[in-house]
Chain A
Amino acid sequence: MKWVSCSILLFWVLAVVLGYVVQLDPNVVDLKRVLQAPSLQHWLGADELGRDLLARVLAGIEVSIIVALSVTLVTMIVGVLIGLLAGFYGGWVDAVLMKVTDVFMAFPGILLAIAFAAVLGPGVGNLVLALCLTGWVSYARLTRAQTMSLRRRQHVLAAQSLGASVPRLLFQHILPLLTSVLVVEATYSIASVMIAEASLSFLGLGIQAPDASWGALLRDAVRYMLAAPHYVLVVGACLMSLILAINLGGDVLRDQLDVRKEIP
């Protein structure tokens, strides 16, 4: 399992790098090869405007990874800060912040991200913003729960009685102990952000034409399913391999970090 996921991930990384090396251009229109089946010149065939599908798939991965990493980074920082404050202070600060997260969690799945993306308008920036606005909740909950137990630890109490400031307590004495839990949460969230990004792009709310994204590619492929079944098959297969690889990779990483172990 480990080797399967690593080799698929490595394969895609190499493919993206190679795409740069041979300078595949995802936006060259060639109306002579509209919806062409895979051939020696175009390994994965061509789309409805005769653009090379391989180049578009690779460009899609890039966008997807950039969005996933930036959303994960921002949501982690915001969520952890909120969780630390709620867990450390308790009382009404905690009550208010947790009611806010309750409200965010009352919206099912990516509905809230769809709603935010809808009013903010299309584009990569707004897409990232919409996903950030909804993604911080899980980090906040997780950090709060851990902080509540950690703040009563002896080393924290000792530091507090020696007069350490609150930021020092939070960032020097509590946060380092949360690292492995947060890394594990991040592996989940990278995969789910990639899927959310693709879902929004599939609905036409994310990345806009002519830029490639996996969601938008799949949506166009569905449109031409009757005329060119290879289109949807190729995009679907690529998407499946990447999602499986990321999931398997996450499992491997989680086994390595083994969160079931008690926090030290």
Chain B
Amino acid sequence: MMWLMRRFFELIIVIFGVLLMTFLLIHLVPGDPVEVMLGESASAADRVALRAELGLDRSLLHQFGTYLHKLAQGDFGQSIHSKMPVSTLLQLRYPATLKLALWSLLIGLCVGIPLGVYAALRAGRWQDLVVTIVSVRLSAMPAFWLGPMLMLLFAVWLGWLPVSGMGSGNAIILPAMTLGLGLSAILTRMTRTSLLEVLQDDFIRTARAKGLSERVVVLRHALRAALLPIITIVGLQMGSLLAGTVITETIFSWDGIGRLLVESIEKRDYPVTQACVLVVALSYVLVNLCTDLLYRLADPRVRG
């Protein structure tokens, strides 16, 4: 319980910090943010109106208070470009990003763990070497490289999948692969190392001595113990997955939060930019919290 309380306290400080950072973002705009957003042709009345709406004519402390107060009511402000409430835009776009992230996670797990087990069982042989080299090098390749390459191969040359957009059901495959393959490379390496370590343990020798088949020993006994550290890795990787959605969604014209962020930056629609950054960062903080909790539930040794 003490741990939970402390974790919760830390969470509040971090969330407060994230709120403060995203609030201050708009104040980093060189010059007058109102002028930058509206352009030079805007009338003086429009400027005064926007300045008052954003509260930029008040003191910084007062502005931050209002910002928090509005956020607490679910009010993210209004888009300068489309005049829509930002919360509506977020509601429209967030599910697509969530879907993409979950599919990527699924691909990462379904490819990474079996490959890792395979490499561990063939440790030291050429199959292991190939899997290891490919996964090490693949995990170094950024999304903005992998995305276009997959697009070229599967959409342009082979013509199996749509180039971009969200029109058909299989449109999610390429963006999810772009994010998922990088994750799977990391998971492959982790599963391999972790499984090799566990296979040295005493309880595995016992299981083998009992006369269990190798299949049962590896899949039931060893893998269950080996997958524990994977929870942490998945949690940590969710961060780069979430940030990766910004680039992947842009490549594949996937209408999620990431693309909304890039669009808002291009249109200098700062309230939307602010909200997107906040929502993605808060998602990450929550994922990290869940990872911690899950790890404690899964591994009795750390509960102590």
Contacts and interface: CB of A to CB of B under 8 A. Distances in A.
Interface in B1-21: 10, 13-15, 17-18, 20-21
Interface in B271-288: 273, 277, 280-281, 284-285
Interface residues of B, number: 50
Nearest to B157: A229
A187 B140 CA distance: 14
A106 B17 contact: yes
Given A106-B14, A106-B18, A225-B156, A243 B141 contact: yes
Nearest to A109: B243
Contacts of B148: 218, 221-222, 225, 232, 236
Nearest to A117: B265
Q: Report the contact-size class of chain A (Cβ under 8 Å from the partner).
A: 35 or more
A192 to B, nearest CB: 10
Identify the interface centre among A112, A116, A119, A236: most chain B CB within 10 Å of its CB. Answer: A119
Nearest to A248: B137
Given A119-B26, A226-B156, A240-B141, A108 B240 contact: yes
Contacts of A247: 137, 140
Contacts of A115: 22, 25, 273, 277
A199 B247 contact: yes
Contact of B242 (A111, A191, A198): A111
B144 interface: yes
Contacts of A222: 148, 151, 251
B262 A225 contact: no
A212 B287 CA distance: 37
A107 B18 contact: yes
Interface string B227-252: 00000000000111111101100110
A119 B25 contact: yes
A31 interface: no
A110 B277 CA distance: 11
30 contacts: A99-B17, A102-B13, A102-B14, A106-B15, A108-B240, A108-B243, A108-B281, A109-B244, A114-B246, A114-B261, A115-B22, A115-B277, A119-B26, A120-B29, A191-B140, A199-B143, A199-B144, A202-B250, A203-B250, A203-B262, A204-B266, A205-B265, A221-B148, A225-B163, A232-B152, A239-B145, A240-B141, A243-B140, A243-B141, A247-B140
Given A204-B262, A243-B140, 14 more contacts: A106-B17, A107-B21, A108-B241, A108-B242, A108-B243, A109-B239, A111-B243, A111-B280, A114-B246, A119-B270, A191-B140, A198-B142, A199-B247, A221-B148
Interface of B: 10, 13-15, 17-18, 20-22, 25-26, 28-30, 137, 140-145, 148-149, 151-152, 156-157, 163, 238-244, 246-247, 250-251, 261-262, 265-266, 270, 273, 277, 280-281, 284-285
